[in-house]
Structure 1
Amino acid sequence: MTRLWNEPADFADDMVDGFVRANGRWVRKVYGGVTRSTQAAQPEVAVVIGGGSGHYPAFAGLVGPGLAHGAAMGNLFASPSAHQVESVARASHRGRGVLLSYGNYAGDVLHFSEAQEALRKDGIDCRTVTVTDDIFSAPPQEAEKRRGIAGDLTVFKVAGAAASLGYDLDGVERVARLANERTRSLGVAFTGCTMPGAAEPLFTVPEGRMAIGLGIHGEPGLDETDIPTANGLAELFIEQLLADAEVPGGASKSGGRVVPVLNGLGSVKSEELFVVYARVADLLESAGLTIVDPQVGEFCTSFDMAGVSLTLLWLDDELERLWLAPADTPAFRCGAVDHASLTPTADDADADERANVPSASAASSEAARRIAEFLGATRETIDEHADELGRIDAIAGDGDHGIGMQRGARAAAAEAEALVELGAGAGTLLSRAADAWADRAGGTSGALWGVILRTLGERLGDTEAVSPEGVRDGVLSASETVRSYGKARVGDKTLVDALVPFADTLAARVDEGASLPEAWEAAAQAATTAAERTADLMPGLGRARSHGEKALGVPDPGAVSLALIVTTIAALLSRGERTDVAR
């Protein structure tokens, strides 16, 4: 288990501080992550990578000359927010465009895509290559749905090398896509990982058994078998990886050249990896493949998980040249980088996020005060139910929904309290609480709650008194925006299954002339019923999609948490206090 921390909620922040202080030769801290502390003599395309913390050396450990230019760092096992990604990308950009690259997880896709749009609106050419190397997470005919695991390294390295050699953005994107097409990975685990401060691991594997096809966030494996010998594990890896595609990305299986990356996921020792690799090498050579620059060690971990993955990158002449090009980062080095040509990167002063709070009407400021109370009550409700939310999420997901909701709700409540003291209106308070929630929670839930709060805030504004009709319009707009943003539909077993009936019921009751407390109470009941009914659904989106029947009989944690929150607010509204929000 993970043993060393100060406050579990502060673990990621403390870790980033220590990492930057230990690795100032390569990185400097910026809002949302790290960027290079040096820059090349000539501007390069900026390769910005990222994902949740807890996977070191992915992602910050891969920032440096010849590899990534910046890494957006989310909270533990949670994607960075769009705000954080955008910040790291802007700090890394040197005028030649930005390539975003990350593992194909729903939360990462939502946040990185939003950041990409923000950069493009400001005239920065920005492209994306998602990593989809995990062969067990989707069949070959649906390769675009596969998640990214340790194959991140090969894609990032190729893209970073191309940038360092002067490729333009089209060229960097092209070779990154090619590397992804030619990368295949498979992972196994013998025990689950335990988050800082948690009493139990995110998942368990029966004694003497091995989970096959797990994800790096602690998602349970998709298959299970007795623990094989080291040779048996090597044979499983090679059999599955070679069978996945006869011609991965156009490479020839017979007589091809491959880079094998044997990765320890946290607590498997290097000596054990070497025993497995000896057989891996024999099998690859017996298959007529030429091994190029093999890598054995830790490249993408999952805290203390006892597990191993094997990645194969199938080379052509260009990919081989890029893979072998010099790189110098805290965790990955090859060749000789010309450090004499590098110059320090100037630090940019962080802006005061709470500066310049817009003026607000007295009615809107009073509404903001009441909304801050709602967010405070939300924080308490989520704290009370966090363990249960994590438990139901762990059955078919990665078990971190409760933790993520806690981080988000606490951050939003704290931001709201501070803004009330500054006289903020309802719109500003909700917008900035949305950023705080998304930044601290990360992941899919962080993205969606950021969308919900921000959209509602845009509708309410800072000047008008809050009316039932305004809340109705804001909630309906939030429902529509979430569906457009996350692509989920009713029936996909997501937060949307509770949000849509909540919004529709609220709108219908307001249109009938009900007061806001009455309409909200009816809508909360509809959301609760809908959340309970998600137990009968098969997941259509998100990490649980890969686990099929495991999710049956268990309600969706996102739908459950939404129902808990709106029910909490319903109770406050029904007290009948005379406020602009509750009239």
Structure 2
Amino acid sequence: MSNHATKRLLNAPEDIVTDALAGMIAAHPDMLSLEGPTGRAVVAVDGPRANKVAVVIGGGSGHEPAFAGYVGRGLADAAAVGNVFASPGPQQVMDAARAVEGGAGVLFLYGNYTGDVMNFDMAVDACKAEGILAASVAVTDDVASAPAGHEGDRRGIAGNFFVFKIAGAAADEGRDLDGCLAAARAANAATRSMGVALTPCSMPQTGQAHFTIAPDRMEIGMGIHGEPGMRSAQLGTADDLVDELMQTILADMNANPGDRVAVLVNGLGATGLLELYVLNRRVAEVLSEREISIHRTWVGEYCTSLDMSGASVTLMRLDDDLAALLDRPCRTAALTVGCTPAPLPARRSRTARVAAQAGPTQDLSRLASEGPVTPQAFRAMMRAAAQAITDHRDWLSQLDGIIGDGDHGITMEIGWTAISRALDEAPEAETITALCHRMSAAFLDAVGASTGPLYASAFTSGGAAVADRLNLDGPAMAAWIKGMCDGILSRGGASVGDKTMIDAWLPAATAAAAAEDNPAARLQAAAEAAAEGRDRTAQIESRRGRSAKLGARSLGHVDPGAASAQLILAAMAESCPASAS
């Protein structure tokens, strides 16, 4: 871990996405607008229209020009923009979908990451609940992240460039939702990518590199969220690197003489065109030697990773339909193909349809009042948990930087800050169950990522577990902890031993159920069990989330989700009122 902070041109780190989107809209008012109450839906001014399938893409910030740079006529109709390296939440995705759907359905496209899958799946469900046809495709182009035969486990990296382009062209051509879905799937199946990192990136909030790469080393098969690569290798020549990447890509796609491909040589944020063209020279030579023709080539920054130095190579094998869709004109901030289409008539402003978020109904006269944890005490415990997360934000992000994308502490702080604001706004008489419902919505709206749906489900389930209580006694506190755990299990599907937050939450729930019969003792037992579970994660390989791609390289490192779970429980235990009275 580097001790040198990265220099950046920004105002407040927490405002970087909001400020950047405002600057983007100011630069391209003829192409883009910002719509919806979340302020994270970038919408094409010229493109969405009645009876056309709406193409909605999205993902975290930090990959510019992806994702909002591909919004415009002939490509995506809207992009949902998340925090840095974090998926947009379902409300942000729905802002985008509601703004552009024209009666023919919505096709969602995103990279295959746990948080994106969770949040976009929730948006698909929300669309269906509102009577909107919806389907989705997760891009899986990264050949380094899973072997052949397990393509569904692969990450989406720069190949989203081609999948987005094909789907947008199919929709612009007038194909129905099934036709657009088929085109996107065909593009995804035909696309392969692999990359290399020479230096790590750093989060704007911390300014610290996620991990270290020795001057004579490189990370082969890195992700686009600052994750380490599949393996470390000696830094060699550009030609040797391209040969290794191309050999892996071409073998995986079973390329043959006579094939036709589109090429993308993509910079990751801190690699200039001078070097990228050196790489492309060898890419073209390799394809020529293999008697594979190049239909089109793009060289530049199309899917970046903040300030990471490195590059990726992407090939899409073309048939006649994919080639025609690739060539179809489009006009966006980051990509223009062909002649600029004639402007469409100004589209009618749409009224956002926001589903009601009614809280649980409780008859206060029937609620059990035994126990020292009143709603006011519960609020204080939640504020203590929020403070613990803030105090340990950088440590949690450092843990995540070693085996993940380095944003866990930042993401948790954003979510718990939103919870603190929600508690400030809550009526004084609100019950613990109602507070949990409020916290669930606040966390999900603020965070997205995988953590957003997981903790939103946890708070909802925890609140439901004590819906018959006004105050919490020992058994009720244990029930709340179990409810939190059950919510995470139901949403994420992880098990003990997967190296996730469940390795802390499940032992905590078990210990709380068996502890002395008062809330403080139950919480203390839960915190101690969570600490043991957290420490055990250092001895197991990750089987879930982004770190699962690292295999044995994840050994020896504590899971950040388990670490934050322990912090929450320990802070609650310390602030829990004594039981007597």
**Normalising by the residue count of structure 1, what TM-score does the alignment of the two structures yield?**
0.91
How far apart are the structure 1 equivalents of 2:95 and 2:368?
30
Decide which of 16, 21, 25 is 1:20's aligned counterpart: 25
Aligned 8 A contact 1:259 1:313 in 2: yes
Matching residue of 1:4: 9
Which amino acid is 2:404 matched to? G
Aligned 8 A contact 1:364 1:425 in 2: no
Alpha-carbon shift at residue 261 of structure 1 (Å):
0.5
How far apart are the structure 2 equivalents of 1:231 and 1:154?
24
Matching residue of 2:445: 439
1:168 matched to 2:176? The reply is yes
Matching residue of 1:456: 462
Aligned 8 A contact 1:372 1:420 in 2: no
How far apart are the structure 1 equivalents of 2:502 and 2:356?
31
How far apart are the structure 2 equivalents of 1:95 and 1:460?
42
From the superposition, tell whether residues 399 and 146 of structure 1 become closer, same or farther in structure 2 (CA, over 3 Å): same
Q: What secondary structure sits across from 1:262 in the alignment? A: strand
Q: What secondary structure sits across from 1:129 in the alignment? A: strand
Number of residue pairs aligned between Structure 1 and Structure 2: 569
How far apart are the structure 2 equivalents of 1:433 and 1:61?
33
Which amino acid is 1:16 matched to? L
Q: What secondary structure sits across from 1:443 in the alignment? A: coil
Moved over 6 A (4+): 349-360, 362-366
From the superposition, tell whether residues 132 and 2 of structure 1 become closer, same or farther in structure 2 (CA, over 3 Å): farther
Which amino acid is 1:413 matched to? S
Q: What secondary structure sits across from 2:157 in the alignment? A: coil
| Within-5 A mapping of 1:53-202 | 53-202=61-210
Unaligned runs of 5+ in 2: 1-5
Aligned 8 A contact 2:80 2:96 in 1: yes
Aligned 8 A contact 1:140 1:245 in 2: no
1:530 matched to 2:530? The reply is no
1:378 matched to 2:385? The reply is yes
From the superposition, tell whether residues 293 and 349 of structure 1 become closer, same or farther in structure 2 (CA, over 3 Å): same
1:42-68 Cα deviation digits (max 9, x unpaired): 421111111111101111111111111
1:223 matched to 2:228? The reply is no
Q: Mean Cα displacement is larger for which, 313-322 or 91-100?
A: 91-100
Aligned 8 A contact 1:83 1:435 in 2: no
Matching residue of 2:324: 321
1:410 matched to 2:417? The reply is yes
Unaligned runs of 5+ in 1: 248-252, 579-583
Decide which of 506, 509, 512 is 1:503's aligned counterpart: 509
| Within-5 A mapping of 1:262-277 | 262-277=265-280
Matching residue of 1:278: 281
1:189-213 Cα deviation digits (max 9, x unpaired): 1111122142421222110222110
From the superposition, tell whether residues 342 and 187 of structure 1 become closer, same or farther in structure 2 (CA, over 3 Å): farther
Aligned 8 A contact 2:119 2:453 in 1: yes
Aligned 8 A contact 1:66 1:161 in 2: yes
Matching residue of 1:250: none
Aligned 8 A contact 1:364 1:426 in 2: no
Q: CA RMSD in A?
A: 2.6
Aligned 8 A contact 1:8 1:196 in 2: yes
Matching residue of 1:45: 53
Alpha-carbon shift at residue 479 of structure 1 (Å):
2.2
Aligned 8 A contact 1:162 1:172 in 2: yes
From the superposition, tell whether residues 216 and 307 of structure 1 become closer, same or farther in structure 2 (CA, over 3 Å): same
Alpha-carbon shift at residue 109 of structure 1 (Å):
1.2
Which amino acid is 1:411 matched to? A
Alpha-carbon shift at residue 40 of structure 1 (Å):
4.7
Alpha-carbon shift at residue 339 of structure 1 (Å):
3.1
Q: Mean Cα displacement is larger for which, 129-138 or 408-417?
A: 408-417
Q: What secondary structure sits across from 1:196 in the alignment? A: coil
How far apart are the structure 2 equivalents of 1:216 and 1:41?
33
Which amino acid is 2:435 matched to? L
**Normalising by the residue count of structure 2, what TM-score does the alignment of the two structures yield?**
0.91
How far apart are the structure 1 equivalents of 2:160 and 2:363?
47
From the superposition, tell whether residues 131 and 41 of structure 1 become closer, same or farther in structure 2 (CA, over 3 Å): closer
How far apart are the structure 1 equivalents of 2:388 and 2:501?
17
Aligned 8 A contact 2:49 2:102 in 1: no
How far apart are the structure 1 equivalents of 2:357 and 2:50?
36
How far apart are the structure 1 equivalents of 2:492 and 2:359?
32
